[in-house]
Structure formats: structure tokens, C-alpha cells
Amino acid sequence: MIPELGHVALIIAFVLAIGLAVVPMWGSMRRDVAAMNMAPSLAVGVTVFVAVAFALLAVSFLQDDFSVAVVAANSNSLLPPIFKFSALWGNHEGSLLLWVLILAGWMTAVATFSRGLPLLMVSRVLSVMGMVAVGFLAFSLLTSNPFERLLPNTPLDGNDLNPLLQDPGLIIHPPLLYMGYVGLSVPFAFAIAALMGGRLDASWARWSRPWTNVAWGFLSLGIMLGSWWAYYELGWGGWWFWDPVENASFMPWLMGTALVHSLAVTEKRGVFRSWTVLLAIFAFSLSLLGTFLVRSGVLTSVHAFAADPERGLFILIFLALVVGGSLLLYALRAPSVASRVSYSGVSRESLLMINNLVFIVSTIVVLLGTLFPLIMDAFSLGKYSVGPPYFNAVFVPLMALVMPFMSVGPLSRWREDTTRRWLHELLVPGIGVLVVAIALAFLGSEGFNLWIALAVLLSGWVALGVFKDLWRRITTGAEGALKWRRLTPSFIGMAMAHLGFAAVVLGAVVVSQENQERDLRMAVGDVEALGAYRFELLSLGQQAGPNYLADQAVFEVRRDEKVIAVLVPEKRRYFASGQIMTEAAIDASLWRDLYIALGEPIGEQAWAVRLQYKPMVRWLWLGALMIGLGALVTAFDRRYRSQRSSESAIQRGVAAVAG
Amino acid sequence: MSAWVRALVSAAICCQLWLAPIVLAVVETYEFSSPELELRYHQLSQELRCPKCQNQNIADSNAPIARDLRVVLYEQLEQGATDEEILAFMVARYGEFVRYRPGVDRNTLLLWAAPGVLLILGAAGLLSHFRQRRDSTANALTEAEQAEIDRLLREPRA
Amino acid sequence: MQAKKFIPLVAFAVLAGLLFRGLSIDPTDLPAARLGQPFPDFDQPELKSGRQISVSALAERPALVNVWATWCYSCRVEHPYLLALAEQGVPIYGLNYKDEPVKAREWLSQLGDPYQLNVVDVEGSVGLDLGVYGAPETYVLDATGRIAHRHVGVLDEAVFQRDFSRWFPMVAAAVVAADLKGVQ
């Protein structure tokens, strides 16, 4: 009964979503206030019924109802309850329902926090999101019904959740990632609504900006968790593989980065309006493209969902409607007259555009690399693979290119600045950073390392810009005391994100350059050295988990004769699937991780063991965490709260521009 | 468990259960005659794609074919083969597909040239845009108008 | 309205067309790198006779070269079909890939021997030169001794009729099917 109720709830949500997609939009054309006013209630209605469907599917999972196909395929009675719950989104059908739930959640959030906005705008924004929801609900109901039953041949037990996914990381990684992915539908909907109304002004940018920042922040956090999860769960200590599925989430992030910066210019200066709208459309389009790539099977990936051309075709048609429709609207309605606001090539505007240039080129390059095998195949030009060596070779220089501008940006003035002033602000401390960079580059294991010197230089340079800006803000015009209260959430968020970016770059370069690794055969009592650390294999044993049996090896790690950690890597065999999993043991700290993974047993008493020393690898995730949290912090800026009063002022401002 | 049964199990995991990623850490204990060779081994084993797996390099894959190719790689390195020779050997047998870093040829020109070309085009576009902006300052707002807008934009803070 | 503003739409249309094409392409379907090349030379023992043979031993053409092993479950599945093909006069050479010769000989005496001869490849070196992923795989050697086609996985009636029959016009579909019943 419960799955049927869930199915009905999903159908009701679908009907309400159609209502949301049609009625307020129609109302907005006819200026029918009553119809437009229905948008928030319909949005909430969709959310409620999707949430009911989601909850009922969760109940099916928790109650081990193996008559439900997805439960039978992805759960097992021995699975710990928390993983039974997260198994819900460890598969195509369930993750799609999670996607829709999060989309509905964003709609409700927009309905709740946008009361101060003009009704015309809100109703159109919600209606556009409703259209997206219609597409995904139809996708779910027509091709991927999560409530499908296996009657009368109900299996006695389920196939179990892929052991890889039986991990706390999977409980939070997909929801966060989807928060970001789907959250980009909000700036998209604002962009479409603005194009329809022909009102692409600074107020539109101001309404859209906090949503964009928050969505982008969640996307950053989601990607960070994915990378972290891969690092400790896949067992070989890699943290980014340039796999198509990773790229699918990375492309919207890159485009989102361009959008976040372009919105800043549009909000503050009213310029690049068409451009910003286009980026908002692109960012969400790339989310949809990612969905297509992950679920259609057109690319080979280590962790794609089951390939299904029928589903692929459905998403492709949906993609064509949404993206094609939006770009057509853009072509027809985007203002062709450039705003007349002036600025020089040496200004904050131009620096932000350099950011846009680099991030858009990066997005296109990642897209091209990801699709290149498909392009070649489509034209029968052969089978190619494009992997990490290519992406690293092109992506690293692009990031290095943008970093010199990153520290100048926040310090520079809008409209007109001078390079002389930039030099005055940054030259002397910049030389200091250079000296430090060269000094630090000698600390590595093999003498001077140019890559590390460059990484420290660029990261230090970015941090320098942030601290200079900070100092200027709290001291300017102040007599004596520092004015900490002048630091707005906008500034704090930006500073965190920039520092976080610098930390990611530093961590990535240092761990790639200074990583040490040994593959060894070790028996009980063996002692092996890696750098300054000595690893002793103390004992071997077995340990039963709830749904697996693990071989364990106990290692004692010493440095300077002092025991600093006892690490217990495991090799698990899961009962239901018979799959073997490597469970690495990690001693983590800010400056280095020690990482032990078991390979295979060699004879009776020994194991093949991989020992790794990974300096500064934590900086990657701490940095990404700062980027994500920084973006979330910006949304608390006061100027986004008083949207109603700001609107009239901005309208006057725009009137002044136009007049 | 005999080696062949294990190979069979791995083959079953690799080739039949396509949907389940194979993620056993591969740990092998080769003895290299020099640290340079070991470094090249690591680099090359990460640049070569396992031909019959999902998207995995031969270093990370547990499939029998990946294991065989690692052995070949190790032996060829120890015999003094250059990187180019080893890549050519692999490509001759398994096609361009095995290279994660596609070689530069007529087909891959697009791939390798794109970043630079896009960057140059984009930079040229930006420069001409800035130039236009500077030239169009004639129709731009007067200082007074701009000040008024700035004031209005700041106003809602209150 | 400016033409420039249609650029994103056009670019997207191209991308969508590509993705549509992608839906009907199987990215895991890889053609053999050796297609069109002569079968690589080797110097290996023959399974039953034990004498050293080279590529010149694969004299009868066009022929099939079947990569098999006793540890390979799918090879057992396709074995009856190979027997039926041999019955029809298709020359089949075996490449006994990474196997134990004793077990392989046992297998052939128990299940029947469809092969003209078998190249013993304990180390997998011939397989490597050929670009073999695993077993079973079946190659077509055309009249000139070049590799004309490769099939990865179980060879059966449907696959043979679709991809192989043009080199072996003497094999009539119905006859093989009937033969196959007799074998089973």
C-alpha cells in the first residue's frame, strides 16, 4: 500500500507542477493578479507532495519492502538503517526523486523569501521552476518510477547497496551536490523571468545574486565532499580523476564561478546584463547536461548510473526544450543596446571580465575534453580517450593565469583605476611573497621545486590581495581603533572564498609534487620506512561487521621513536554481493596525511600494502570548504534583506540611467 | 584460491557487472632497478587506459588485462624502452584508446589547440570591448548622473 | 535583433545533435587495433602435438581464430557452436590463452575439438600482440591472412550471421542450427 500511496503523491505533485507551470505564467501575460498569486501556494503544494512521496519511499527502504524494485535492487535486510535510508538515493530512480525534492525545496524557498519582490517577477520565476519540475516529475513517472513493484515475484532479500556507497560520505554528498546543481535553476528562472519582462536591470541582478551565491556554495561543498569521499573510500588516495561524472558537476561549478562574478558587476554597475543572463542560462544548462551525461550512458565512467538510451532520449528532449527555448528567448529578447555606463580597461569591471574569460574557457575546455571521445566516435574518426594528463595540462595553466588578477580585483576601483595605483598597493608586499615562495620551495624532499615556488607565489599573492583589502577596510578613515564592524558579509564571504581558492591550489600542487608512496610486501613484525615515518605491522586479524567480514591489519606508526598513530586498514567482503572493498586507514592532520591501504594477501602471513605520505592534502578540502561557506555567508548581506525598499530606489536609479 | 579462479572472479566483476565500479586498491611490489624507472612506471601506468574496463587507468584497475599491461610496462621499462616506444607498443595493440593523453594528430588538433585559440579569441574580444568602451565615453553619463545613480544604489542600506 | 545573439542557440543545437548521435553509439564497443594488419607472428607450441609453430601454420583461409581458456565460463557456452561451425567446414584455429595445457587437452577430449590446431599461449604474449582483452574473443583471418574482424564475447548464431557470414558463405544458417541441435 505504501508504495502505491507514494506513487499517487508523486502524480499529484506532477499535476500541481503543471498548474504551477501554466497558471501563474498565463496570469502574468494577462496581468491576472489572482492567477499570479497562486504561484507560491502551488509551489508549496508541489513540495509537500514530493516530500510525501520521498518519505514513503524512505519508509519502504527502512521496512525492507523488497517488493519495491529499487529497494530490492539497492538495499538488504542486513544493511544498517542509516544506509537503508541513504540507499534511497544510491540509485537512478531514488536520486531522481531526491533531485525533484530539492528542486521543490528551492521553489518553496523562493516563494518564502521573495515576498518583497514584484508579483509579476515572483510568479514568473516560480512558474519557470515549475516547468523544470514538470520535466523531472514526468521523467520520474514515465521512465524511472521509483515505486515500481516486483509482484508477485518478490525476492526474499535485496541485492544490497553497492559497498562503496555504504559510507557516511554518501549520506550527505549527493544531497549537497544536488542542492547546488538544482539551486542553479533559481538564477536561471530569474534570468528567464527577466528576459520575458524585458527588465534586465541591476535590481534583477540583486534579486538573483544571493540565490546564485548560495547554490554555487552548495555546489562547491558537494564537489568537495565527493572528492574527499573518493580519497578515503576508493582506496588509492586520489582526490580528483577527471572522470566524466566528476566533470559533469565541475562544469556547472566553473560556469557558476563566472556567473557569480559577472553578477557582481551587473548588480553594482548595471553593465554586462545580457552577458550575465546568458551565463545564468548556461550554468543551469550545464547542470542539465550533467544529468544527461550521468544517466544516458553516452560516456564511459567509473560511476555512472545504469545506462539507458530511452532515459537518455527523454532527458535530451527535455534538455533541448529547456535550453533551446531559453536561448531562443535570449536571442529574441536580450537587450541589444549596450548600457551606456562607461568604464576603462583598467578597472574592477575589466578584472572581473578576465575572470569570466578564464572560467568560461575552462568550462569549454572541460566540456570539449569530456565530449571529445564522443565527437570522434560520432564522425567515425576512431576511439579516443581523454583523461587526467590532458585536463591537467590545460587546466592548471588556466588557473595559474587567473590568479594574478584575483588579488588585484578586490583592491581595484570600479570604472577607472590606474596600474600605477595597483603597483603602489601590491608591488612591495608582492616581492615579499616572491621571496617567501622561493624559500619555501626549498623545503621539499628533493631540493628546489619550481611548481611549489609558483604555487606559493600565486596563492600567497591571492591571499595578499585579500589581506590588503581587509586592512584597508578596517583602517580607512579610522582614528586609532580598527573598524571590524565595517566588514560586511559580502566582504567576509568573498575573502573566505578567495583564501579558500588559494588553499586549494596550494594543497593540490604540494600533494601532487611531494606525495610519497611505497608498495610493499609486509608480514607481521616487518618495519618499513616512508620519509620520516616508520610503519610496523603489529598483527593481522579478522573482524565481523554488520554485513561484511573484514581482514584487518594493525599498523603502528612512529616518528622519532614516538608512536604517533595506530592505523587499522581493512579489506572487507560484503555478504550480499560478495564484493571486496578496500578500507584505507588514514592518520589525518593539517600538514600531512598518512594513508595505508591493503592490496591482496601474499601467501598466508603477508599482505601487499601501499603506504602513502600526502603532505597538505587536507588543504584541498579545507579550502573548498571555505569557498563553499564563504559563498553561503555572502547571502546574509544586509542589502539582500531589504529587497522591497531597494527595488523602488533601483527603479529610480535605472530611470535615471535611461533618462 | 588459485590465481585463475581469482582472475575469473575479477573478470566477472570487470566485464559482467558493468554497473559496479571496481575499486580495489591495486598494490603490487615491483622491484625497480632505479627510482627514475619507478617514477616513469607510475606516470605511464596512470596515462594508460585499461582497454576493457570502465574509465580507469591500468594503475588503478584490478582487471586481468590491466595487470598484464602493468607487467609489460614494468618489463619494457627495465629493458630500457623509452616512453614513446612503450606508448607505440600499446597503441599498436590496443589502439589510440589506451592513451589518456591523446597524441597530437590531425584528429586531435581541435582538442589541443582549443584552449589557446579560445583564450586568444576571448582576450581579443575583451580588448576590443574595452577599447569601444573607452571611445564611447562621449555618450556616457555625466559625473553628476553617475553620482546620482551611485547614491540611489546605496540608499536602501538605511 | 542581432545575429550575434543567435550564436549560443546555434552552438547548443550542434551540441544537442551530437548528444543525440551519442545515444546510438556504444562507447564500450572498441574495434581491434590490429584490423587490416597481418596476424602477428609467434613461435609457440601446438597444444596436442607439442611442436613449435609460427603464423605460417594458420594456412587455411579465410579462418576463425578463437581465443579460449578452460577458466573461461563463456568459452564453455560457445563451444558447441564452434563445433557446429567446424562441422560446416569453417577452419577454426584456437589460441589457448593463459591456460594450463593439461586442462586444455582434457577439455578438448571431453567436449570435442573444433580446432584445426591450437596455439599454446601460457604467458599471454600472443594475446598481447593481438590486442586481446580476455576470453572468449574470435577473430576473422581473411583470404590474405589479415585480421578482418574481431568479436569480443560469446560467438553464437546471431552474431555469426550478422558479422561473420560474409567471409564464410558456405555456412547456411539453418544447417548450422540443425547441427547445433545434434551436438547438444
Distance CA A280, CA A146 (A): 31
Cβ-nearest to A236 among B25, B123, B152: B25
CB-CB contact of A1 with A83 (8 Å): no
The CA–CA distances, whole Å, from A657 to A500, A651, A653, B141 equal 37, 10, 6, 8
C-alpha to C-alpha distance for A352 and A346, rounded to whole angstroms: 11
Check C25 against A313: CB less than 8 A apart: no
Window from A150-164, A269-283, A375-389 with minimum mean pLDDT: A150-164
pLDDT at position B5 over 90: no
Chain A, residues 185-224, CB within 8 A of chain B, namely: 202
Contact A622/A503 with Cβ under 8 angstroms?
A: yes
C176/A379: higher pLDDT: A379
Q: A53-67, A413-427, B101-115 — which is least confidently predicted?
A: A413-427
Confidence of residue B22 (pLDDT cuts 50, 70, 90): very low
C-alpha cell, A264: 557582481
Residues of C in contact with B50 (CB under 8 A): none
Tallying the residues shown for chain A, one arrives at: 659
Q: Is B4 on the interface with A (CB under 8 A)?
A: no
Of A353, A579, A652, the CB nearest to B126: A353
Average pLDDT over residues A86-113: 94
Is A573 an interface residue toward B (CB < 8 Å)? no
CB contact (8 A) between residue C13 and residue A324: yes
Q: Hey, are the CB atoms on C9 and A327 less than 8 Å from each other?
A: yes
Full DSSP string of A531-565: TTEEEEEEEEEEEE-SSEEEEEEEEEEEETTEEEE
Which residues on chain C are in Cβ contact (under 8 Å) with B94?
A: 33, 131
Q: Cα separation of A520 and A537, whole Å?
A: 12
A336–C2 CB contact, under 8 Å: yes
Dihedral sign from CA coordinates of A231, A245, A354, A630: negative
pLDDT of residue A414: 86
Per-residue pLDDT at A445 exceeds 80: no
What is residue A69's predicted lDDT score, i.e. its pLDDT? 92
pLDDT at residue B4 tops 70? no
Same domain assignment for residues B67 and B130: no
Question: Which CA distances in Å does A324 have to A87, A328, A336, C17?
Answer: 34, 6, 19, 12
Tell me the pLDDT tens digit for each residue of A417-435: 888 888 888 888 888 889 8
**Mean pLDDT of the region C116-127:** 93
DSSP character for C89? T
Judged against a pLDDT cut of 60, whether residue B28 lies above it is answered with yes
A655: pLDDT strictly greater than 80: no
Q: Which among A244, A300, A385 is the nearest to B100, CB-wise? A: A385
What does the longest C-alpha to C-alpha distance in chain C come to? 81
Among B98, B125, B145, the domain boundary falls at B98
Radius of gyration, CA atoms only, chain B = 28
In angstroms, rounded to a whole number, what is the distance separating the alpha carbons of residues A552 and A596?
Answer: 12
A180 and chain B: CB distance < 8 Å anywhere?
no
Structural contact between residues A193 and A128, judged by C-beta atoms closer than 8 angstroms: yes
CA C151/CA C165 separation, integer angstroms = 13
Contact C6 A296 (CB under 8 A): no
Residues of chain C with pLDDT > 90: what percent?
A: 64
Crossing angle of the two packed helices A119-143 and A92-113, in degrees rounded to 10? 170
| In chain A, % of residues over pLDDT 70 | 95
pLDDT tens string B129-146: 888 776 655 454 555 666
Closest to A196 measured CA to CA, from A35, A332, A30: A332
Question: CB-based contact (8 Å) between A599 and chain B?
Answer: yes
Residue A658 — very low, low, confident or very high, per pLDDT cuts 50/70/90? very low
**CA contacts within 13 A on the Cβ side of B127:** 6
Pairing label, strands A527-530, A533-544: antiparallel
Structure-block grid coordinates of residue A593: 596525511
Please state which CATH number belongs to domain C31-183. 3.40.30.10
Query: How confident is residue A653, by pLDDT bands cut at 50, 70 and 90?
Result: very low
- Considering the domain architecture, whether residues B117 and B86 belong to the same structural domain is answered as no
Measured CA to CA in angstroms, residue B21 lies from A620, B18, B50, C153 at distances of: 25, 7, 13, 20
A161 in contact with B, Cβ within 8 Å: no
Distance CA A358, CA A400 (A): 10
The sign one gets for the Cα dihedral A87, A90, A95, A98 is positive
Helix (H, G, I), strand (E, B) or coil at C146: strand
Q: How many domains does chain B have?
A: 2
Examine the fold and report which residue of B54, B78, B98 is the final residue of a domain before the chain moves on: B98
In a shared domain, residues B32 and B80: yes
Instruction: State residue B16's pLDDT score.
Output: 30
Q: Are residues B67 and B18 in the same domain?
A: yes
Measured in degrees and rounded to the nearest 5, phi and psi for residue B98 equal -75, -10
Burial (CB count <10 Å: 0-12, 13-18, 19+), residue A138: middle
Q: Does the CB of A302 have a partner CB in chain B at under 8 Å? A: yes
DSSP H or E stretch at residue A369 = helix A348-378
Q: How confident is the model at residue B9 (pLDDT cuts 50, 70, 90)?
A: very low
Contacts with A, C 30-89, CB within 8 Å: 30-31
| pLDDT higher than threshold 80 for residue A101 | yes
Q: What DSSP character marks residue C160?
A: I
What sections of A270-347 are H helices per DSSP? 273-296, 309-319, 325-333
Q: Is A210 in contact with A260 (CB distance < 8 Å)?
A: no
Q: Would the CA dihedral through A444, A447, A448, A450 be positive or negative?
A: negative
> What mean pLDDT, rounded, does chain A reach?
89
C-alpha cell at A651: 527603479
Contact (CB<8Å) A327/C8: yes
- Residue C33 contacts B where some CB pair is shorter than 8 Å: yes
Task: Look at A153-167, A276-290, A345-359, B31-45 and tell me which has the smallest mean pLDDT.
Answer: A153-167
Nearest to A639 among B115, B129, B156 (CB): B156
Strand order in the sheet with C117-121: C117-121, C92-97, C63-68, C137-141, C147-152
Ordered alpha helix ranges (H), chain C? 7-23, 73-87, 101-111, 125-130, 157-159, 173-183
Query: In angstroms, rounded to a whole number, what is the distance separating the alpha carbons of residues A39 and A31?
Result: 14
Chain A residues 63-122 with CB within 8 Å of chain C: none
A646 has pLDDT over 90: no
* Range with the poorest average pLDDT among A29-43, A147-161, A299-313: A299-313
Sign of the C-alpha dihedral computed for residues C115, C121, C124 and C129 taken in this order: negative
Q: Specify whether the CB–CB gap between A125 and A53 falls below 8 A.
A: no
Helix A489-514 crosses helix A388-411 at what angle (to 10 degrees)? 140
The arithmetic mean of pLDDT across residues A320-347, rounded, is 84
Q: Which residue has the higher pLDDT, B72 or C183?
A: B72
Who among C32, C128, C132 is closest to B72 (CB)? C128
Give the model's pLDDT for residue B56.
87
What residues are paired with A586 via a beta bridge? Answer: A595
pLDDT bucket at A654, cuts 50 / 70 / 90? very low
Mean pLDDT for chain C overall: 88
Q: Residue B154 has what pLDDT?
A: 65
pLDDT reported for residue B8: 34
Whether chain A has a CB inside 8 Å of the CB on B121: the answer is no
Min distance B131 CA to chain A CA atoms (Å):
7
Residues paired with A567 in a beta bridge: A555
| B60 and B84 housed in the same domain | yes
Q: Does B37 touch chain A (CB under 8 A)?
A: no
**Best to test chain B binding among A167, A271, A305, A361 (most B CBs inside 10 Å):** A361
Query: Are B10 and B78 members of one domain?
Result: yes
- Residue B104 in any domain: the answer is no
pLDDT value, residue A279: 96
In this structure, are B20 and B94 located in the same domain? yes
Backbone dihedral angles phi then psi of residue A653, each to the nearest 5 degrees? -60, -45
Answer yes or no: is B23 within a domain: yes
Q: What residues make up the domain containing B86?
A: 3-98
Give me the total of CB pairs closer than 8 Å, taking one residue from chain A and one from chain B: 195
Helix or strand holding residue A606 (H, E)? strand A606-615
| Contact criterion met (CB below 8 Å) for B51 and B97 | yes
Q: List alpha helices for A75-167, DSSP H.
A: 81-86, 92-113, 119-143
CA dist., res. B80 & res. A373, Å (int): 32
Note the pLDDT of residue B1. 31
Convert A159-201 into a string of H (helix), E (strand) and C (coil).
Answer: CCCCHHHCCHHHHHHHHHHHHHHHHCHHHHHHHHHHHHHCCCC
The sign one gets for the Cα dihedral A284, A286, A288, A294 is negative
* CA-to-CA dists, residue A356 to A157, A542, C112, angstroms: 52, 54, 69
pLDDT at A306: 62
Task: Report the C-alpha gap between B128 and A156 in whole angstroms.
Answer: 69
Q: What is the pLDDT of residues A177-225, one digit of tens each?
A: 999 999 999 999 999 999 998 877 788 898 999 999 999 999 999 999 9
Hey, are the CB atoms on B92 and C30 less than 8 Å from each other? no
Q: Which residues pair with C120 in a beta bridge?
A: C96
Q: Which residues of B touch C32 (CB under 8 A)?
A: 95
Contact B23 A268 (CB under 8 A): no
Question: Does C18 sit within 8 Å of A371, measured CB to CB?
Answer: yes
* Residue-wise pLDDT tens digits, A486-518: 788 999 999 999 999 999 999 999 999 988 888
Determine, yes or no, domain membership for B135.
Answer: yes
User: Both B53 and B117 in a single domain?
Assistant: no
Q: Is the peptide bond before C91 cis (omega within 30 degrees of 0)?
A: no
How far off is chain C from A460, nearest CA to CA, in Å? Answer: 37
Give residue A446's pLDDT.
76
Q: Looking at chain B, which subunits does it touch, using at least 3 CB pairs closer than 8 Å as the criterion? A: A, C
Q: How confident is the model at residue C39 (pLDDT cuts 50, 70, 90)?
A: very high
Do residue A386 and residue B126 have CB atoms under 8 angstroms apart? no
Same-domain check for residues B94 and B129: no
Q: Which residue has the cell 582434457?
A: C106
What pLDDT is attached to residue A426?
85
Q: Do B18 and B70 share a structural domain?
A: yes
pLDDT at B157 over 50: no
CB contact under 8 A, B15 and C134: yes
Same structural domain for residues B89 and B38?
A: yes
* Same structural domain, B18 and B91: yes
Could you tell me the pTM of the whole model? 0.90
Residue A483, C-alpha cell as written in the block: 573598524
Lowest mean pLDDT among A124-138, A253-267, A531-545, C162-176: C162-176
A262, A272 Cβ separation under 8 angstroms:
yes
- In this structure, chain C runs to a length of 184
